[in-house]
Amino acid sequence: MNTRVIVTRYGGPQVIDVIEEPLRKPERGEIRVKVQAAGVALADIMRREGKYPLSPIPPFTPGYDAIGIVDELGEGVQNYLIGDKVAVFFNGTGGYASYVYAMDDEVVRIPAHIDSVTAAAVILNYVTAYQMLHRIAKVTEGERILIHGVSGGVGTALLELGKLAKLDMYGTASLAKHSIVSQFGAVPIDYRNEDFVDTLRILTPEGMDVVFDPIGGRNYERSMKTLSNNGRFIGYGYTSILQQEDSEEWTKEWRSLAKNRTTGEGNPIYLYSITSLKKERLDWFKEDVRFLLSLLEEGKINPLISYRLSLREAAHAQELLEKSISVGKVVLICE
């Protein structure tokens, strides 16, 4: 049987249900994977509430990333064998299940001995962080960066990879999470009691070389004020939508920024989406997953995982993210 989490209608954690269904044979070109660990992301919550642009119509299964073992192959699958360990990456839906069905371009083979829970923290969060730092911003040693939501899954990945790249890092987080930010050698800014624009003006009058902002709205505008002459702005989400009724704002602003591509001062604006870039450059995605897993094997990165919960606790897992209780990644474990 397959245990699968579904969003029954748009709404709060109470709309999440867990169902049992018979396994089916994979179709032509499909790979069936017995999942060991699946990642939880803030975008899962936005889709659950119907606030993500083009949110899927319920019922649907949330989840981008899963790690598991190839269990059965559909006709015509050449590149994988039963028993291979793989990372699966979906376009935002499908990951929260004890078995998943994936196509070749959604799967990357990974070393058998890598811990599945740790690998689950790498696929979405670290690939996002790595691509924004190196594929988009093309950071160089000594550059100053500002990370918003620095204690989250992508935020802590940016800190760890930023430290490896020898960057000068600043991050906004609530006071309770400052010690974690400092551990990575970054300067924490208390967004609840400090104005980050004023604080940075005092700390680094010359400004930020790159800002990573997943918040959107007014935060985007204010982030742009902190940029140096050659600063780049990267928006990669719109979590402020969780506090709003209407998600039109996101689509409208995203379109306008995508069209203008520069701030009022002429700094470049990049809007990053892991799923869009993967569609354009699947070679980059697979290369980056392998590179990051090699860093993991060498002990050069050590993803922060604050909660490991069973698949059946998916609703609680999302609450931990939504209420900012977790630090780093929340992972669902499939027994």
Q: What pLDDT, on a 0 to 100 scale, did the predictor assign at position 251?
A: 87
Which backbone phi and psi does 119 adopt, to 5 degrees?
-60, -35
User: What tokens does 300 get?
Assistant: 């050069």
Q: Which tokens belong to 324? A: 């900012």
Domain span at 309: 2-122+281-333
pLDDT in tens, 317-333: 999 999 999 999 999 99
Tokens (6 digits) for 233: 């702005």
Are residue 294 and residue 313 in the same domain, yes or no? yes
79 and 26 co-located in one domain: yes
Residues 312 and 238 in one domain: no
Distance CA 306, CA 100 (A): 24
Q: Rounded CA gap, 220 and 230, in Å?
A: 17
Kindly report, residue by residue over 219-254, the tens digit of the pLDDT: 999 999 999 999 999 999 999 988 877 677 888 899
Pair 145, 259 in one domain? yes
Query: Is 135 inside a domain boundary?
Result: no
Count the domains in the chain.
2
C-alpha distances in Å from residue 86, one per residue of 32, 65, 96, 275, 319: 11, 11, 16, 18, 28
Alpha-carbon distances of 38 from 64, 149, 173, rounded to whole Å: 8, 22, 26
Distances (CA, A) of 99 to 12, 256, 306: 25, 40, 24
> Residue 335 has what pLDDT?
75
In this structure, what is the dihedral angle of CA atoms 334, 316, 152, 224, given to the nearest 10 degrees?
130
Please check whether residue 13 lies inside any domain of the structure: yes
pTM metric for this prediction: 0.97
221: number of Cβ within 10 Å: 13
Distance CA 288, CA 228 (A): 29
In this structure, the answer to whether residues 155 and 226 fall within a common structural domain is yes
Percentage with pLDDT > 90 across the chain:
93
pLDDT confidence of residue 246: 67
Whether residue 161 is found in the same domain as residue 251 = yes
Instruction: Give, for 49, the enclosing helix (H) or strand (E).
Output: none
Beta carbons of 126 and 157 less than 8 angstroms apart:
yes
